Amino acid sequence: MAAPDLTKLGKYDIVRILGRGAMGTVYEGFDPIIARRVAIKTVNLDDTDDAEAAEGLLRFRREAQAAGRLTHPNIVGIYDYGETDGLAYIVMEYVEGETLKSVLDRGERFATVDALRMMRSLLAGLAYSHDNGVIHRDIKPANVMITRDDQVKLADFGVARIESSSLTQAGTMIGTPSYMSPEQFMGQTIDMRTDIYSAGVMLYQLLTGEKPFEGSITAIMHKVLNVEPPAPSALSISVPPRLDAIVRKAMAKRPDDRFADAREFAQALATAESDTGSGGLSLAGEGVDGDATMIASSGRHAAAAPEASVRLPTPPAPAGETGGRRGLLIGGIAAAALIVAGGGTYFLLGGGHHAAQQAAPSHPSATKPASARSVKTPAPAPAPAPPVAAQAT
């Protein structure tokens, strides 16, 4: 389905194709009733008799349910969901900008104060999401949009977990290896503190220009479970040593040792920001390993690809307990991932990459000097107070 000459989908006019994958297409669309530009992500319904494709459709619907209940300036908005003419589709906010991953891949770095403000904006969106019972489970630069006016927006709730949901059971490993928490690797029950850990990894990367753990999936898992990363201030002279404790707390191996919630994390950053003053340069360089989003459960294995979800066997418990920045129009492509099933691998259309692109993206050399970058990141809007009652759908 989803032929290139598609001109209408439900009430929405189709303007152009933004990207395409094996299971669906992302379009720029237009709502003629309220004259609003939108992005429309589609998934083919024809092949849902296949078990993998059927599960992909369930997750597609769950993405609409998860993100559809969230209305916040730091979250890409979901407007509508429908199924018609052999297609399921999600209508979402059309975002002009680029992913944070695209910025980092070019070797650009943020002044320390801007990195802290960006993280506070992200955490404001996370706090609101958690208040509404939605755990993202895949916080990473590829799922963070920076708009043309430097707003920060969290995107892609394709593997999000809604509290009380039984779609993802304990024993299933979901996430992106470089940003996964210990409990995600172990297939244990997760809560909002899993997102805190992943946000801590992002903060580490923003401050230093490096991920705390890199290598193969197996190597990353070992390090996440057993190794403490170098302190950010040891890798970049622009990072005040007082930020080391914040990163260490966010990335604690045990969930109980982390910040209790996103607001506590954001408050620690706000305090540090008030003491930081002007920032400096961070180091350049980012590896490509461990960037694949994983959906892993027992009995299946598939090779990882950039921006792909793969299923791997849940690891056994360890023997011992272990403690063109503004000219690029991404539209809805990076705002939400398009899941397209192929065998045991799900390729995601996100992070500014075409769905069919399977080659690893280019990355700056670790020895390449970092370019200075200072952005006007707006102060984050305070997250609304928790709702009186949040019913899972």
Domain boundaries, the chain: 98-148+168-322+340-349
The two most distant CA atoms of the chain are separated, in Å, by 61
Identify the pLDDT of residue 265.
98
The whole-angstrom separation of Cα 298 and Cα 313 is 4
Identify the pLDDT of residue 340.
32
Report the sign of the C-alpha dihedral through residues 143, 148, 152, 157, in that order. negative
Amino acid at 7: T
What is the Cα 297 distance to its own chain's centre?
Answer: 20
Alpha helix stretches (DSSP H) within 132-261: 182-185, 192-208, 217-226, 232-235, 242-250
Task: Indicate which residues carry an active-site annotation.
Answer: 138
Helices (H) and strands (E) in the chain, counts: 9, 16
For the entire predicted model, the pTM comes to 0.71
Identify the pLDDT of residue 202.
98
- What is the per-residue pLDDT across 187-234, written as a single tens digit (0 to 9) for each? 998 899 999 999 999 999 999 999 999 999 999 999 999 999 999 999
Identify the pLDDT of residue 45.
77
The stretches in the chain having pLDDT less than 70 are 1-4, 21-23, 47-49, 163-172, 276-393
Phi, psi of 194 (to 5 degrees): -65, -45
The whole-angstrom separation of Cα 56 and Cα 43 is 9
- What is the per-residue pLDDT across 87-128, written as a single tens digit (0 to 9) for each? 899 999 999 989 999 999 999 989 999 999 999 999 999 999
CATH code: domain 98-148+168-322+340-349 is 1.10.510.10
CA angle 178, 180, 186 (to 5 degrees): 125
Identify the pLDDT of residue 92.
93
